[in-house]
């Protein structure tokens, strides 16, 4: 499903030079596989997810998702890829405040080529336990409810790959487990590959495959050695 | 969800800011529409003088424009008079005999075909200088309401709402019958049978109480200055004190006959004057022939009302309108800039929202389209409200405008096309009651607002287009 080869990414440093952040020689995820990436803050976890999502461009290397080399795609191609192949759950939910829960899920479908499936949007919200909150605006919802809406939105377009960037970081402990369960169960039911980034070990321990980014990323290894 | 729905939600989310920016645009459009509409209707009432039914005015030498304004629009100071005999130059012998039938033959002298009679379809004399309240009194002949025809060439141009035309002589009222325009009747409450006395030159201390006229007819509204005039029989006008040209050894108004109303002898030809003669020529070349011959002499001058009014508009009114229009368009542009500022200021707060949409698969052009659509909603939404506001406002103010200027503006009246464009669009379309209003300058308002919205929305839209998704998502919410 996901195959990363020789992926490199650097950012411009304040002195004008380049500061390497990622150097991942090899990283694969199988179809419908669920795995978690752990690592310290600032080690490049979110950058890796952005590159996989096509939000940023790598300096070099290939990212193949579902047979599509997204690092070679045009901006428009990557937009289409995000709309049709991939789902994204953000750490801070990122629901649009002007839209109801139902509309936030529908909005996730609006940018893909397919028709907007309003029944699926309702079905997803029912699955995440919010069938009674369809018309609620984000500001009136608890953080747990907001993250559930965010999960439903990420799944709206039947993605092949779901990226979850610390989805439990802003959720209270009571809701943490239910969010993880919800994501994992839904991905399992719909045979969606899941790459979750977290620094919460109690979450990571529930996954069979746990990859520390320091192990995948040569830049992080070099920094560790240097320190 | 469509781009429009997403943009509309964004507008609604910032309801107060959106409302205020739209309101400012609405005010700008209200002013533009009001200027276009008022000027359009006023200029139309001036320039639609083809409907007046005559193409030449003969009057005293002097200011051409003053003659037209005075005679056609009953504006400006009264002009000097010309001899009645000059009016006779436009009549055949038979017409003169008919018009002077009440006059003793020795008083009217030898009649013969007038010099310009063969070039004239009809000629109507008018005598001005008196007022009833603030309204002009026009001394004329009954043919004023008979010879002028409507656009189809057969129906009379002026019709009566009540009563009838005044007569040259009536057994009951003698020479003293009057017809009042629609606005005069409406504003003064005059009705059939009422008696009115004109004042000389508008002087309230110089009222012709000795010669009251009885109202026998009230005109239908015609949309012309005649709505605001009082028409009296010219023979009665002559017999009012001070209206006869003083001649030696002439006794004015000797009584003849012995009926219930004693008929007075009409004023002799020598003592008669007219302020102007409204002439419709029999062919397109006659105006030039007549104009050249008359203007060479020193008795009178010929002016073409269309030419004079066109020059007036081109020299004075159009530049003023252009200035007003430029000012109001500038107001709209300033309102447009306020839309730019409003949306642009919101862009910083909305970077994350835009980044989320991009992360969900929205293209750069889609988010750009959303912002442009927002700009269009604010601009066109406010503009349409302003446009409707202008029409409602002017419709409410219509009675006052009509009373002050004689111009009628209805709720569904639209600003007419400039005369130059009317040449391109067939008259049959413009004059059609259903299609005509759509051929209006106001048609340009919505496309102009969309263009303005796209121009002012471009900067914030481009900012949305250029949003760095990764950076916006990484920043704190």
- Among B282, B303, B324, residue at a domain's last position: B303
For the record, the structure tokens of B105 come out as 């033959």
- Tell me if A46 and B474 make a contact (CB, 8 A cut-off): yes
Chain B nearest C-alpha distance from A206 (Å): 27
Q: Residues B334, B222: one domain?
A: no
Q: What is the mean pLDDT of residues B146-153?
A: 75
Q: In this structure, is residue B51 part of a structural domain?
A: no
Dist. CA B118–CA B125, nearest whole Å: 17
Q: Which residue has the higher pLDDT, B105 or B455?
A: B455
Do residue B219 and residue B244 come from a single domain? yes
d(CA A3, CA A16): 32
pLDDT tens-digit map of B223-268: 788 888 999 999 988 888 777 665 544 444 444 444 434 456 788 8
Spatial contact of A159 and A187, defined as CB atoms under 8 Å apart: no
CATH number at residue A59: 3.40.50.300
Q: Are residues B330 and B297 part of one domain?
A: no
Give CA–CA dist A5/A161, Å, rounded: 18
Contact B363 A96 (CB under 8 A): no
Check whether residue B328 and residue B238 sit in a common domain: no
Q: Which residue ranges of chain A lie beneath pLDDT 70?
A: 227
- B255 shares its domain with B320: no
Distance of alpha carbon B155 from alpha carbon A173, whole angstroms = 91
- E strands present in chain A: 2-12, 18-29, 34-38, 60-65, 68-69, 86-89, 161-165, 193-198, 209-212
Structure pTM?
0.69
Structural domain count, chain B? 2
Q: How far is A165 from chain B (nearest CA, A)?
A: 11
Chain B interface test: which of A55, A59, A84, A155 (most B C-beta within 10 Å) = A55
Distance CA B241, CA B212 (A): 12
CA distance A217 to A195: 16
Nearest to B363 among A56, A79, A153 (CB): A79
Q: How far is CA B402 from CA A9, B133, B192, in A?
A: 76, 17, 22
Cβ-Cβ contacts under 8 Å for B69 (sequence gap 6 or more)? B75, B76
pLDDT the model gives residue B475: 67
pLDDT of B321 above 90:
no
Tell me the per-residue pLDDT of B405-420, one tens digit each, with 9 for 90 and over.
666 677 777 776 665 5
Q: Rounded distance, CA B41 to CA B19, Å?
A: 31
B123 in Cβ contact with B274 (< 8 Å) = no
Q: Are residues B282 and B362 in the same domain?
A: no
Domain count for chain A, please give it: 1
Query: For position B331, what pLDDT does the model report?
Result: 81
Q: Do A98 and B474 touch (CB under 8 A)?
A: no
Residue ending a domain, choose from B303, B336, B358: B303
> Per CB distance under 8 Å, which residues of B are interface residues toward A?
1-2, 6, 9-10, 12-13, 352-353, 356-364, 366, 469-470, 473-474, 477
Distances (CA, A) of B340 to A27, B144, B384, B452: 46, 59, 19, 10
Residues A173 and B333: their CA atoms lie apart, in Å, by 54
Q: Which chain A residues touch B473 with a CB distance below 8 Å?
A: 50, 55, 90, 94
The answer to whether residues B249 and B374 belong to one domain is no
Cα separation, A104 vs A97, in Å, equals 9
What element of type H or E holds B302? strand B301-303
pLDDT tens column, B330-350: 888 888 888 888 888 888 778
pLDDT at B376: 92
CB burial of residue B54 (10 Å; 0-12, 13-18, 19+): buried
Question: A147 is in which domain, residue-wise?
Answer: 2-226
Kindly state whether residues B186 and B123 are assigned to the same domain.
yes
Quick one: pLDDT at residue B220? 92
Looking at the complex, report in whole angstroms how far the Cα of residue A127 sits from the nearest Cα belonging to chain B: 21
Percentage of chain B beyond pLDDT 90 is: 26
State the average pLDDT for chain B.
Answer: 83
pLDDT of A162 reads 93
Confidence of residue B436 (pLDDT cuts 50, 70, 90): low
Measured between CA atoms, how close is B470 to chain A, in angstroms?
6
Residues of A in contact with B352 (CB under 8 A): 94
Residue B156 has pLDDT above 90, yes or no: no
Triad A6, A11, A15: Cα angle to 5°: 135
CA B463 to each of CA A96, B34, B41, B148, B469: distance values in angstroms, whole numbers, following the listed order: 19, 36, 44, 65, 12
The answer to whether the Cα torsion of B3, B5, B8, B10 is positive or negative is negative
Whether B347 and B429 map to the same domain: the answer is yes
Minimal Cβ distance to B1: which of A53, A90, A103 = A103
Locus of tokens 């009230």? B218
Q: For residue B303, what are the β-bridge partners? A: B57
Is the separation of the CB atoms in B169 and B256 below 8 Å? no
Please give the ipTM for the structure prediction.
0.87
Per-residue model confidence as pLDDT tens digits over B7-28: 998 888 888 888 988 898 888 8
3-state SS class at B248 = coil
> Which residues in chain B have Cβ-Cβ distances shorter than 8 Å to A110?
1-2, 6
Q: Of B245, B280, B303, which marks where a domain is finished? A: B303
Per the structure, the complete domain to which residue B61 belongs is given by: 56-303
Give residue B437's pLDDT band: very low, low, confident or very high (50, 70, 90).
low
Q: State whether B12 and A98 contact (CB < 8 Å).
A: yes
Residue B430 pLDDT level (bands cut at 50, 70, 90): low
Note the Cα A77 to chain centre separation in Å: 18
Q: In DSSP terms, which residues pair with B273 in a beta bridge? A: B83
Instruction: Determine which of A9, A89, A93, A110 to mutate to test the interface with B (most B C-beta atoms within 10 Å).
Output: A110
User: Domain check: are B212 and B349 in the same one?
Assistant: no
- The encoded tokens of residue B459 equal 């900067």
User: For A70-123, what is each residue's pLDDT tens digit?
Assistant: 888 888 888 888 888 889 888 888 898 889 999 999 987 888 777 788 898 998
Contact between A110 and B363 using a beta-carbon 8 Å cutoff: no
Q: Do B359 and A83 touch (CB under 8 A)?
A: no
Same domain, B38 and B64: no
Burial of A105 (0-12, 13-18, 19+ CB in 10 A): buried
Q: DSSP assignment of B73-123, as one string?
A: S--SS----EEHHHHHTTS-HHHHHHHTTTS-HHHH------TTGGGEEEE
Same domain, yes or no: B253 and B367: no
In this predicted model, what pLDDT tens digit does every residue of B291-317 receive, in sequence order?
999 988 888 999 998 888 888 877 877
Q: How many interchain CB pairs under 8 A, A with B?
A: 74
User: Is A143's Cβ below 8 Å from some Cβ in B?
Assistant: no
Report residue B421's pLDDT band, with 50, 70 and 90 as the boundaries. low
pLDDT number for residue B118: 93
Residue B150 near residue B156, CB atoms below 8 Å = yes
Residue B360 has its nearest CB partner, among A46, A103, A107, at A107
List the single residue in B with minimal CA-CA distance to A85. Answer: B361
Task: Tell which of A79, A81, A101 to mutate to test the B interface (max B CBs under 10 Å).
Answer: A79
Q: Quick check: B466 pLDDT over 90?
A: no
CB contact burial B435-450 (16+ within 10 A = b; e otherwise):
ebbebbbbeebeebbb
Does B360 contact A111 at a Cβ distance shorter than 8 Å?
A: yes
Q: How far is B372 from chain A (nearest CA, A)?
A: 17
């Amino acid at each position: 499903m996901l195959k990363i080869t020789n992926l490199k990414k650097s950012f411009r440093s304040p002195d004008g030079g380049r500061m390497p952040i990622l150097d991942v020689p090899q990283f694969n995820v199988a179809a419908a596989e669920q795995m978690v990436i752990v690592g310290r803050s600032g080690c490049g976890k979110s950058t890796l997810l952005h590159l996989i999502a096509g939000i940023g461009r790598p300096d070099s290397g290939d990212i193949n998702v579902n047979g599509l080399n997204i690092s070679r795609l045009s901006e428009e191609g990557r937009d289409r890829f995000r709309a049709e192949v991939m789902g994204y759950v953000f750490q801070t939910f990122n629901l649009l405040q002007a839209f109801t829960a139902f509309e936030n899920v529908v909005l996730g479908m609006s940018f893909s080529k397919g028709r907007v499936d309003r029944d699926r949007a309702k079905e997803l919200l029912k699955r995440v336990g919010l069938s009674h909150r369809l018309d609620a605006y984000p500001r009136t919802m608890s953080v747990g409810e907001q993250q559930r809406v965010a999960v439903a939105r990420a799944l709206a377009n039947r993605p092949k790959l779901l990226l979850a960037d610390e989805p439990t970081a802003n959720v209270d402990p009571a809701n943490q487990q239910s969010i993880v369960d919800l994501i994992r169960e839904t991905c399992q039911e719909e045979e969606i590959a899941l790459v979750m980034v977290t620094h919460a070990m109690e979450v990571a321990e529930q996954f069979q495959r746990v990859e520390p980014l320091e192990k995948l990323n040569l830049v992080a290894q070099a920094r560790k050695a240097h320190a | 969800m469509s781009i429009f729905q997403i943009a509309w939600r964004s507008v609604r989310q910032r309801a107060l800011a959106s409302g205020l920016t739209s309101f400012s645009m609405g005010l700008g459009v209200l002013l533009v529409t009001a200027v276009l509409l008022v000027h359009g209707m006023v200029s139309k009432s001036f320039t639609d003088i083809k409907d007046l039914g005559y193409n030449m005015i003969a009057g005293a030498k002097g200011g051409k424009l003053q003659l037209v304004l005075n005679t056609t629009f009953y504006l400006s100071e009264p002009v000097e008079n010309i001899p009645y005999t000059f009016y006779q130059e436009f009549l055949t012998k038979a017409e003169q005999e008919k018009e002077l039938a009440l006059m003793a033959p020795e008083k009217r002298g030898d009649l013969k075909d007038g010099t310009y009679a063969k070039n004239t379809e009809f000629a109507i004399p008018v005598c001005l200088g008196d007022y009833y309240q603030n309204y002009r009194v026009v001394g004329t002949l009954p043919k004023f309401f008979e010879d002028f025809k409507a656009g189809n060439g057969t129906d009379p141009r002026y019709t009566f709402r009540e009563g009838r035309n005044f007569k040259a002589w009536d057994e009951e009222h003698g020479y003293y019958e009057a017809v009042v325009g629609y606005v005069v009747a409406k504003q003064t409450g005059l009705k059939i049978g009422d008696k009115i006395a004109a004042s000389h030159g508008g002087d309230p201390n110089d009222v012709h109480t000795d010669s009251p006229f009885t109202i026998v007819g009230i005109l239908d509204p015609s949309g012309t200055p005649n709505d605001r005039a009082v028409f009296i029989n010219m023979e009665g006008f002559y017999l009012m004190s001070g209206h006869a040209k003083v001649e030696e050894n002439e006794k004015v108004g000797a009584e003849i006959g012995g009926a219930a109303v004693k008929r007075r002898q009409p004023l002799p030809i020598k003592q008669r004057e007219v302020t102007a003669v409204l002439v419709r020529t029999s062919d397109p070349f006659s105006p030039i022939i007549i104009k050249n011959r008359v203007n060479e002499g020193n008795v009178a001058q010929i002016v073409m009302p269309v030419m004079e009014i066109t020059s007036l508009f081109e020299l004075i009114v159009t530049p003023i309108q252009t200035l007003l229009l430029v000012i109001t368009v500038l107001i709209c542009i300033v309102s447009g800039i306020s839309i730019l500022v409003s949306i642009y200021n919101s862009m910083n707060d909305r970077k994350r929202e835009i980044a989320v949409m991009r992360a969900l698969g929205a293209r750069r052009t889609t988010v750009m389209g959303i912002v442009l659509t927002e700009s269009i909603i604010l601009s066109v939404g406010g503009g349409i409200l302003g446009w409707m506001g202008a029409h409602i406002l002017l419709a409410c103010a219509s009675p006052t405008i009509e009373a002050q200027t004689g111009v009628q503006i209805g709720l569904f009246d639209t600003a007419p096309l400039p005369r130059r464009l009317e040449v391109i669009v067939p008259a049959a379309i413009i004059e059609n009651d259903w299609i005509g209003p759509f051929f209006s300058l106001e048609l340009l308002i919505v496309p102009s607002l969309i263009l303005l919205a796209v121009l002012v929305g471009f900067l914030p839209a481009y900012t949305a287009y250029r949003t760095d998704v990764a950076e916006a998502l990484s920043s704190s919410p």
